[in-house]
Amino acid sequence: MADVSANLGVANVTASQSRLFTTDGRSLKTALAAAQVRAKRRALLLVLPLLLFLVISFVMPIAQMLLRSVHNDAFSANMPVLSAWFNENPNSAPDEAAYAALVSDLRHARADKTAGLIGTRVNYDLAGSRSLFTAAARKAEGLKPPYREAVIDLSADWGDSALWQAMRSASSAYTTSFFLAALDLTRDTNGKVVRVEEGRRIYVSHFVKTFTFSAVITAICLLLAYPVAHMLATLPLGKSNLLMILVLLPFWTSLLVRTTSWMVLLQEQGVVNNALVASGVVDPTNRLAMMYNQTGTVIAMVHILLPFMILPLYAVMRPIKPHYTRAARSLGASSWTAFRQVYLPQTLPGIGAGTLLVFILAVGYYITPALVGGASGQMISNFIAYHMQGSLNWSMAAALAAILLAAVLLLYWLYDRLIGIDNIKLG
């Protein structure tokens, strides 16, 4: 009966609104709806600059990266005749027509000065191919039929089935070859996906090393940050604010300066080794190797990422009342039991926030591992930087970055499923 009365009341209000009019003669209901539309429009206009900024500076670069990881038209755009032959003969071995198409495209590449670009694209799939294309392009004008024999006379490698398989793979602007290479996979002469030779399997092991390093660094940061955050949270506010300056001080110093400072401290003739030798802990002829290895990477990154663990923990610990643990102690609980069952559960949101923040930051670091870690301390981010700046194989860098992004999102999803992202608190 109450529900019926409520529905009748809403209907009466709506009907009364429809019978009321504004000073300009419009229905009150229509005027209210128009006012709501204007308010929503103004709110959208207020956030539109921020939305456009995020789309331009964040969404579009990620989308471009993902596209570049599967799109590379350096070969297909500059070798159109041979690419057309591959499309028309998907399973055929190269015949005279294929070699004729190759010669025709090489002549145009010579004129357009794109032979190096074409060779570079094939070189991504088959090392050592770039010189074949540049050399053949220079001599393409003098080649006469039969083109098969003429081209193979230039180099016997032109008859290699692996080279033709690489060109077939590159003849499509869209390809999965970069993702296969990022997972230490390739295609054999029959097009079947197989693992690369053992000596060339580098990326999967570095993915494993990256996540292992990140997990170890996160665990060490948690063990070091928890007592520090607890001390800051339990001290009087004046003293804790003074000590908090020491936690925030690294943010006022350049990351490069902090990293190079660790290089000075950790080298064999550095401050740490000299202090250990002077104290008699380490033999002068057997100094500790803490630079250009995994040890140096872990030490430097723990120092850099430690504040990102302390701050979320402190923000959660500060509001916790000390009366809870005192009440547990008064009821007969030991110090360890009171901590484990009363205090620790209340800090889990801060632990989750700090762990997730430090782990994601550690996964993407590359400056510190590059300077301190050397060859054995590098992570997958260093390979991404190399392909972006050194080899200029942006498609490979994009594929590695896409796999890294997918792995982080997967871990984020698992964290949400197991613990719950809503339980995270940053303050």
Measured CA to CA, the distance from residue 21 to residue 39 in angstroms comes to: 20
Q: What is the CA radius of gyration of the chain?
A: 32
Domain locations in the chain as residue ranges = 2-68, 80-175, 203-423
pLDDT of residue 230: 93
* Average pLDDT of the chain, as a whole number: 87
> Mean pLDDT, to the nearest integer, of 112-128?
92
Residue 308: closest CA among 362, 244, 354 = 354
Question: Model confidence at 4, in pLDDT bands (50, 70, 90)?
Answer: very low
- Which is higher by pLDDT, 11 or 314? 314
Buried b (16+ CB within 10 A) or exposed e, 375-390: eebbbbbbbbbbbbee
Span 132-149, pLDDT tens digits: 999 999 999 999 999 999
Question: Model confidence at 13, in pLDDT bands (50, 70, 90)?
Answer: very low
Span 330-386, pLDDT tens digits: 888 888 898 889 999 999 888 988 998 999 999 988 888 888 887 777 889 999 999
CB-CB contact of 371 with 259 (8 Å):
yes
Residue 127: closest CA among 393, 394, 347, 423 = 393
Q: Quote the longest CA-to-CA distance of the chain.
A: 99
Looking at domain 203-423, its CATH architecture is: Orthogonal Bundle (1.10)
Q: By mean pLDDT, which of 7-11, 183-187, 251-255, 421-425 is the weakest?
A: 7-11
Span 310-344, pLDDT tens digits: 999 999 999 888 888 888 888 888 888 988 899 99
Question: Model confidence at 229, in pLDDT bands (50, 70, 90)?
Answer: very high
Question: Model confidence at 425, in pLDDT bands (50, 70, 90)?
Answer: low
Rounded to two decimals, the pTM is 0.81
CB-CB contact of 388 with 394 (8 Å):
yes
Residue 76: closest CA among 68, 85, 66 = 85
